[in-house]
Amino acid sequence: MLAQLIPYVSIRDHRPGDLDLKFSLAVLKRSDLKELLSLAGTLPGIREFNVNLFSRTLSIAYDPGIIGYDFWEAVLSEEIPPEKRAFFLDDMRERLSNFEA
C-alpha cells in the first residue's frame, strides 16, 4: 500500500529518526487516500505520523534502530524501480513485524 504513495511524494528534509515529505496535489484526488495514510502509520518502528493537508506535508518520526535511514532513501529514490517497490515494502513490513525489541 505504501508503494502507491511514492509517486506523489518527495523528500523535503531527512535526518535519522525524522522524515518530512512533500506531496503533490494529485494525491488528494485518490479515493483511497485516507486508507493509504492510515496504513502508512502502522508500519512497525513509526513513532509518529502527521499529515498536514494545508502545507501538503507528511512528517514521520521513526526509530532509526528499527527502520534505517537508508530504507527511506532507497524507497523514495530511484534506487528501487517502481515495479519492485511494492514487493520491497511488503518484504520490509514482514521483517519489521517480526522485529522484537
Is the distance from CB of 57 to CB of 43 less than 8 angstroms?
Answer: no
Q: Which residues neighbour 36 within 8 Å (Cβ) at sequence distance 6 or greater?
A: 1, 2, 4, 5, 30
Residue whose entry in the numeric block shows the C-alpha cell 500500500: 1
The model's confidence at residue 101, banded by pLDDT at 50, 70 and 90, is: very low
Q: Report domain 2-97's class.
A: alpha beta
Has residue 91 got a pLDDT over 70?
no
Q: What is the pLDDT of residues 12-54, one digit of tens each?
A: 999 999 999 998 888 878 777 777 677 666 777 888 888 888 8
Sorted by where each begins, the domain ranges of the chain are: 2-97
Averaged confidence pLDDT in the chain: 78
CB atoms within 10 A of CB 29: 9
Q: Please give the pLDDT value at position 89.
A: 66
pLDDT > 70 in the chain, percent: 68
Q: Please give the pLDDT value at position 72.
A: 81
Q: Please give the pLDDT value at position 69.
A: 87
